[in-house]
Chains A and B, each alone.
Chain A
């Protein structure tokens, strides 16, 4: 499973993105569960969001969904934080 996170907007307007491939990971099952939950609670189209809030595009294999700060679920926040930190 490929998990790709793109962050745009924010006060600085600087884009960041990172990706994780769970294929070689021992904790792949945990990643899949987390990604599925995060995507299930995200939106099909980008929400309007709040001024200067970060916008996130979550892509898991061929599925894409959107969410924004500060209205993230705990799963979305954990997924975004981990992928941006650990991904390439």
Chain B
């Protein structure tokens, strides 16, 4: 029991995940809705157990800090899930709050668990209390629209469609998609990068980077164990592809008669000039995505530790301009690597090499 209390404290230094159930919650959520009792019974029990465990931990922590100020509550997420009921009015009807047990609705459970996984990474690894750094409650809306093929951040909450079932499955399924959306919130409260052209592609890339790190942290994977995919498990059966984006090999995530071919470039040689998609923010994000992958792979180990720390330092350091270009961001990561790990460290060298390899900085 003592250990549980210890786990709730902030440890800004890199740690191993507390979020350490062997099967990640988003998979549990899926198993829990399975028709086969062999799958759903144990999954539902585990979800219930986890909820109970959380409640106990909350109770203990509350006792431990009883006379202390209420600010300590920011060490825990305060999650609320709404159901849009297939309409498009936000936020929808409130269906789940922080202290509720598992819902019968797997989308609700996945959203709740994904918000928790995101909160956990930012708190345990970077010492950040929620997306604004001050314990902001985390809200999600599920079942937005009819067969709606998208998820987005509306400035206040993350919003998820069910997918049409033909091309895309439920957007709450991949935990990195949940992490991606909430990271738009972190960016909004920090560098607030303009969602246009290169600064927009950086905004997108930061969401992919931390979305992927949230998944890797939840699965306790090293850089070489991670799949570096965004939206794996999102493509419906029969679609030719692995995911929506690949940070390891941008441009190779899918090639399908319906979806077309993954159009992401990996280097500046393939930079796409377009007026669509706010200047190709979901296309050109492949370039900084790939740079992050190269840094994390060169350093090895847990990507959220050194590579993630460098990126986080730049995002939150106060020097990243709203309209930053790729080269501005790259130069700041070089400086951040030097400040944190020294000019002769492997980190500095890895960052310089990565940006050079993707054609953003000179050799």
Q: Which residues of A contact B (CB under 8 A)?
A: 8-15, 46, 48-55, 69-70, 72, 77, 81
Contact = CB atoms under 8 A, between A and B. Distances in A.
Nearest to A6: B276
Contact of A52 (B146, B181, B260, B283): B181
A46 B200 CA distance: 15
B150 A70 contact: no
B153 interface: yes
Nearest to A50: B154
A8 B203 contact: no
Contacts of B195: 48-49, 51
Contacts of A70: 88, 90, 152, 154, 159
B110 interface: no
28 contacts: A9-B276, A9-B277, A9-B278, A10-B149, A11-B151, A11-B180, A11-B231, A12-B168, A15-B277, A46-B278, A48-B195, A48-B278, A50-B153, A50-B155, A51-B152, A51-B181, A51-B195, A52-B152, A52-B184, A53-B150, A54-B150, A55-B276, A55-B277, A55-B278, A69-B88, A69-B150, A70-B154, A81-B146
B171 A11 contact: yes
Contact of B153 (A8, A9, A52, A81): A52
A53 B152 CA distance: 5
A11 to B, nearest CB: 5
A72 B88 contact: yes
B23 interface: no
Given A50-B152, A77-B88, A14 B196 contact: no
B335 interface: no
Given A49-B195, A51-B152, A14 B278 contact: no
A77 B146 CA distance: 11
B4 to A, nearest CB: 36
B166 to A, nearest CB: 13
Given A48-B196, A51-B207, A12 B88 contact: no
Given A48-B196, A52-B181, A72-B88, A12 B150 contact: yes
Given A9-B276, A51-B184, A52-B152, A14 B259 contact: yes
Contacts of A50: 152-155
Contacts of A52: 150-153, 180-181, 184
B177 interface: yes
Given A12-B259, A52-B184, 8 more contacts: A9-B281, A10-B152, A51-B153, A51-B184, A52-B150, A52-B152, A70-B90, A77-B88
Contact of A49 (B149, B180, B278): B278
